[in-house]
């Protein structure tokens, strides 16, 4: 069985760990969001790819959901001693090594997809992890800054530094229009029996992946099941509501499904709190959606997969 | 009083700390060797500049003589987990921050001399530290490798990885012919009351600095006093003998003085073990030369400075 999943960071990575447990024999390709990528200290940082890689490879900080476990922050502290920031982005020493290797390979001419494959040689995530594109796409957020007026800032500045405290006027994946899917992305989707959307952010994770020309159409041609990132009107984690508001979508399981639309998504898994939700043109099922432990997460992934296989028949 | 000192790594840095104590009011410019510089993991590493900066700035690992104190090696260990080496070069986490800042500034277009000044803003070494050149000069060593035949390797590979165990056929500062002294180097020498050679390696430290066109002539025009790096026929530290042998110079206080020559050096400080040494055209003085503690080191620097001032009259 061939499965393709689109994935953002923490929520996506945890879902994927459940999916791997639910379908240990399946051939799983993960198309990772790179819109959150940022260059810091001259190094290329890919937070979502790394979160997936570390989570599936056993290196993640479980409590935090991102970054390495047993992490230290000596390099960052030393950089701040030199007056070199930003201080608000938490790069640990172990994590730095990943970015150093990535940057060195990129500088040598390797594409991000090849670099990601090389990094995964170490982590052995048990899935094939492919960035959505090898081209540079960076999500920018337009905010009304009380001090500096309306301006566009990098997604990470809005998300991590400002904790989305300034309302987003708009959110755009800069560079997406000219970007091409990374090698293997479209083929993997075409070959897939089913495509799954983990409960990742529908705007800045799944939405960004779908913004790469060619990916949405390829996905729409398949049987797609999504897991709602919204439970009872609030994001399961993160600040998806701030992103949804920016694009004029209500923070509800139903509104997110309608935002994706029945042309794209065939089945929609919602939490029991949203069991009355219906979406025209979609098969909606309800079950507990809190990924509270590995077994609960496995069962959610199993349910998404089962629904997808049922609809694919 | 204006003093210029040429300096390599550990021995030079310790001498400079003594010189600063001996002449706290003096305006000291240190011209640092960059022939040992190497690019590792995509980062530019300047071992001698950093040893001077860390030693005078209070950040050095005193026992080791190089690298930062309270150092950890998490980044390096992680790089090795990715299969990325070399493993033989000891870059610690604190040290990595220095190289990250330097590399980022160089990539932004700053010259090494400007970068070094920026790094020294933090360390406040109490001297003006200037690299010998902003151009890339790398000392290469030709060796007869029993497995790979005669080949040229980077100085650090010979020095650190091989511990100079393969005899050097020749040693050359690659790129020196076309290099220009960094801004301020020649002016500092011209303005100096005296020039001092610390007990640094006469081949790969002082010799490399003197190989930059213009520096030797500028130094030769001044009153110069050198401190012998050889005591009783052996290097005080390091493997200077292996370098001297490669250029056909005996490992003795006298031979090193004659290698510099009376056209360049006016006064020569040797250890009491070498008190019978005479060098034609040079004023030779003997005294204890072991830099065993700060006070002993200060006294050595004081003696070198006193001799230089006496000869400059």
Q: What is the ipTM of this complex?
A: 0.93
R_g (Cα) of chain B, nearest Å:
19
Best residue in A45, A80, A82 for a mutation probing chain B (most B CBs within 10 Å): A82
Q: For all residues of chain A together, what is the average pLDDT? A: 96
Look up residue B173 and give its DSSP letter: E
CB atoms within 10 A of CB B294: 12
pLDDT at B87: 92
pLDDT at B238: 79
Q: Which residue has the tokens 């500049």?
A: B49
Going along chain B from its start, the domains and CATH numbers come out as 2-134+178-312 (3.40.50.10680)
Structure tokens that stand for B313 in this block: 């009259």
Instruction: Answer yes or no: do A101 and B82 touch at CB < 8 A.
Output: yes
Q: Which residues of chain B have pLDDT under 70?
A: none
pLDDT at B4: 98
Provide the pLDDT confidence category of residue A237 given band limits of 50, 70 and 90: confident
Q: Which chain B positions have a beta carbon within 8 Å of A102's beta carbon? A: none
Instruction: Answer yes or no: do A82 and B122 touch at CB < 8 A.
Output: yes
pLDDT at B109: 97
- Contact assessment for residue A153 and residue A143, using Cβ atoms and an 8 Å cutoff: yes
Residues 6+ apart with CB under 8 A from B33: B6, B7, B8, B9, B12, B48, B132, B200, B204, B205, B206, B208, B209
pLDDT at B187: 98
- Contact assessment for residue B212 and residue B176, using Cβ atoms and an 8 Å cutoff: yes
Q: Which residue has the tokens 């987003």?
A: A168
CB atoms within 10 A of CB B292: 10
Q: Residues of B near A (CB-CB distance < 8 A)?
A: 41-43, 72, 74-76, 78-79, 81-84, 93-94, 96-98, 100-101, 103-104, 107, 118-119, 121-122
C-alpha torsion A113→A45→A251→A209, nearest 10: -20
Look up residue B73 and give its DSSP letter: -
Provide the pLDDT confidence category of residue A104 given band limits of 50, 70 and 90: very high
Closest-CA residue of A relative to B76 is A97
**A273 φψ region: left (φ > 0), alpha (ψ -120 to 50), beta (else):** alpha
Instruction: Answer yes or no: do A78 and B72 touch at CB < 8 A.
Output: no
Give the three-class secondary structure for A60: strand
pLDDT at B236: 84
C-alpha torsion B112→B115→B120→B121, nearest 10: 160
Rounded CA-CA distance B247/B98 in Å is 33
Rounded CA-CA distance B133/A84 in Å is 25
Q: Examine the pLDDT at A239 and tell me if it is beyond 90.
A: no
Q: Which chain A positions have a beta carbon within 8 Å of B72's beta carbon? A: 72, 74, 93
Strand-strand pairing, B128-131 and A283-286? unpaired
Rounded CA-CA distance B179/B33 in Å is 13
pLDDT at A274: 97
Residues 6+ apart with CB under 8 A from B241: B234, B235, B251
Instruction: Answer yes or no: do A100 and B72 touch at CB < 8 A.
Output: no
pLDDT at B223: 98
Look up residue B174 and give its DSSP letter: E
Q: Which chain A positions have a beta carbon within 8 Å of B43's beta carbon? A: 100
Structure tokens that stand for B98 in this block: 């220095």
Chains A & B: contacts with CB separation below 8 Å: 87
What digits encode the pLDDT tens for the residues A169-223? 999 999 999 999 999 999 999 999 999 999 999 999 999 999 999 999 999 999 9
Question: Of the candidates A171, A176, A174, A139, which has an alpha carbon nearest to the alpha carbon of residue A245?
Answer: A171
- Contact assessment for residue A96 and residue B34, using Cβ atoms and an 8 Å cutoff: no
pLDDT > 70: percent of chain A: 100
Write b or e for each residue in A54-86: b if 16 or more Cβ atoms lie within 10 A of its Cβ, otherwise e. Answer: bbbbebbbeeebbbbeebebbbbebbeebebeb
What digits encode the pLDDT tens for the residues A243-293? 999 999 999 999 999 999 999 999 999 999 999 999 999 999 999 999 999
Q: Which chain A positions have a beta carbon within 8 Å of B76's beta carbon? A: 97
Rounded CA-CA distance A89/A84 in Å is 12
CB atoms within 10 A of CB A206: 26
Q: Residue A89: is it exposed, middle or buried by C-beta count within 10 angstroms (0-12/13-18/19+)?
A: middle
Instruction: Tell me the DSSP string of B90-137.
Output: ---HHHHHHHHHHHHHHHTT--HHHHHHHHHHHH--SSEEEESBSS--
Look up residue B181 and give its DSSP letter: B
Q: Examine the pLDDT at A236 and tell me if it is beyond 90.
A: no
Of A41, A72, A104, the CB nearest to B41: A104
Instruction: Answer yes or no: do B96 and A98 touch at CB < 8 A.
Output: no
Residues 6+ apart with CB under 8 A from B269: B225, B226, B227, B228, B284, B285, B286, B287, B289, B300, B303, B304, B307
Over residues A67-95, the mean pLDDT reads 96
Question: Of the candidates A217, A240, A242, A231, which has an alpha carbon nearest to the alpha carbon of residue A270?
Answer: A231
pLDDT at A62: 94
Q: Which chain B positions have a beta carbon within 8 Å of A42's beta carbon? A: 100, 103-104, 107
To the nearest whole angstrom, how far is the Cα of A179 from the nearest Cα of chain B? 26
């Amino acid at each position: 069985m061939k499965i393709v999943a689109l994935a953002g960071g923490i929520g996506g990575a945890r879902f994927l760990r459940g999916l791997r447990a639910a379908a240990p024999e399946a051939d799983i390709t993960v198309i990772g969001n790179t819109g959150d990528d940022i260059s810091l200290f001259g190094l290329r940082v890919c937070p979502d790819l790394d979160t997936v890689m570390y989570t599936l490879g056993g290196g993640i900080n479980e409590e935090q959901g991102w970054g390495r476990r047993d992490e230290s922050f000596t390099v960052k502290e030393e950089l701040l001693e030199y007056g070199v920031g930003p201080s608000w982005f938490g790069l640990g020493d172990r994590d730095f090594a990943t970015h150093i290797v990535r940057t060195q390979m990129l500088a040598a001419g390797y594409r991000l997809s090849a670099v990601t494959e090389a990094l995964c040689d170490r982590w052995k995530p048990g899935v094939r992890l492919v960035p959505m594109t090898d081209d540079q796409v960076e999500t920018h957020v337009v905010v009304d800054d009380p001090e500096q007026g309306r301006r566009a800032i990098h997604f990470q500045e809005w998300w991590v530094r400002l904790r989305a405290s300034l309302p987003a006027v708009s959110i755009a994946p800069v560079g997406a229009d000219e970007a091409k899917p990374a090698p293997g992305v479209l083929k993997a989707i075409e070959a897939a029996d089913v495509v799954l959307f983990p409960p990742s952010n529908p705007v800045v994770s799944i939405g960004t992946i779908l913004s790469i020309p060619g990916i949405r159409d390829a996905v729409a041609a398949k049987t797609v099941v999504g897991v709602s990132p919204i439970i009872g009107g609030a994001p399961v984690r993160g600040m998806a509501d701030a992103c949804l508001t920016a694009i004029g979508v209500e923070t509800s399981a139903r509104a997110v499904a309608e935002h994706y639309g029945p042309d794209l998504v065939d089945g929609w898994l919602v939490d029991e709190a949203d069991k009355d939700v219906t979406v025209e043109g979609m098969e909606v099922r309800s079950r507990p959606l809190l990924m509270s432990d590995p077994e609960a997460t496995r069962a959610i992934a199993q349910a998404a997969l089962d629904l997808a296989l049922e609809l694919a028949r």
